[in-house]
């Protein structure tokens, strides 16, 4: 009986310790990509919502580079997870009148897939919005291009490093 109790205590201690040492996904991302130049992503958003039958991510792309209202729709890019190439696109949500460069955005979707994140948006002010973990909801990591963009909406966010801020949990 004592041996079973000691095993249970040891098991619980390992579980609790593992919970305390969980990775800080934001810090890991900022350490790896904190100085990354995201200029080519300006006015575009990328997010993974699902995958195809082979497990390849289907990345939804919002390309707002043309600033045309009907073109603010999304299209999908299936990226081959092994070769990191565009497998196919799904653009049935885009009107024919849209004048966006789907090929360029599809290639950026491939680059986005290498970051290992769920969502990336870069606005016209060069602010970078990231959702590191694969979950629903708004971005929870931001790099401000200039601190003048750190508005009241971000007052409770804490600094990770430099101009990178994370939403407090």
Is there a domain that residue 115 lies in? yes
Q: Quote the pLDDT of residue 16.
A: 44
Q: Quote the pLDDT of residue 109.
A: 95
Lowest mean pLDDT among 12-26, 50-64, 140-154: 12-26
Domain hosting 118: range is: 24-166
Residue whose token pair is 């966010």: 157
> Over the chain, what is the mean pLDDT?
83
Residues in the chain: 169
Is there a domain that residue 18 lies in? no
Contact 43, 128 (CB under 8 A): no
Is there a domain that residue 4 lies in? no
Is there a domain that residue 71 lies in? yes
Q: Quote the pLDDT of residue 1.
A: 52
Q: Quote the pLDDT of residue 137.
A: 67
Taking residues 130-151, report their average pLDDT: 88
Is there a domain that residue 8 lies in? no
pLDDT in tens, 40-73: 999 999 999 889 999 999 999 988 876 665 566 6
Q: How far apart are alpha carbons 20 and 23 in whole angstroms?
A: 9
Number of structural domains (the chain) is 1
Residues 6 or more apart in contact with residue 87 via CB below 8 angstroms: 52, 56, 78, 79, 80
Taking residues 144-164, report their average pLDDT: 94
Is there a domain that residue 42 lies in? yes
Strand partners, 89: 77
pLDDT in tens, 101-135: 888 889 999 999 999 999 999 999 999 999 998 77
Residue 145 has pLDDT above 60, yes or no: yes
Is there a domain that residue 11 lies in? no
Q: How far apart are alpha carbons 156 and 7 in whole angstroms?
A: 42
Taking residues 90-101, report their average pLDDT: 73
Residue 147 has pLDDT above 90, yes or no: yes
Q: How far is CA 63 from CA 16, 45, 102, 128, in A?
A: 44, 7, 8, 15
Quote the radius of gyration of the chain (alpha carbons, Å). Answer: 20
Closest CA to 98 of 75, 71, 78: 71
The tokens describing 122, both together, are: 């870069």
Give the pLDDT band of residue 74 (cuts 50, 70, 90): confident
In 10 A of CB 104, how many CB atoms? 13
Closest CA to 61 of 75, 48, 72: 75
Is there a domain that residue 19 lies in? no
DSSP 114: T
């Amino acid at each position: 009986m004592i041996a079973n109790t000691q095993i249970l205590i040891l098991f619980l201690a390992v579980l609790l310790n593992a919970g305390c040492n969980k990775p800080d996904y934001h810090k890991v991302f900022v350490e790896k990509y904190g100085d990354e130049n995201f200029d080519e992503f300006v006015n575009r958003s990328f997010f993974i919502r699902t995958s195809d039958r082979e497990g390849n991510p289907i990345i939804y792309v919002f390309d707002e580079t043309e600033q045309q209202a009907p073109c603010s729709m999304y299209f999908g890019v299936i990226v081959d997870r092994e070769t990191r190439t565009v497998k196919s696109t799904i653009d049935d949500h885009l009107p024919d009148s849209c004048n966006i460069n789907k090929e360029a955005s599809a290639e950026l979707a491939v680059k986005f897939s290498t970051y290992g994140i769920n969502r990336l948006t870069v606005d016209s002010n060069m602010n970078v919005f990231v959702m590191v973990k694969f979950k629903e909801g708004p971005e929870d990591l931001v790099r401000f291009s200039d601190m003048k963009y750190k508005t009241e909406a971000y007052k409770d966010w804490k600094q990770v490093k430099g101009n990178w801020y994370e939403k407090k949990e």
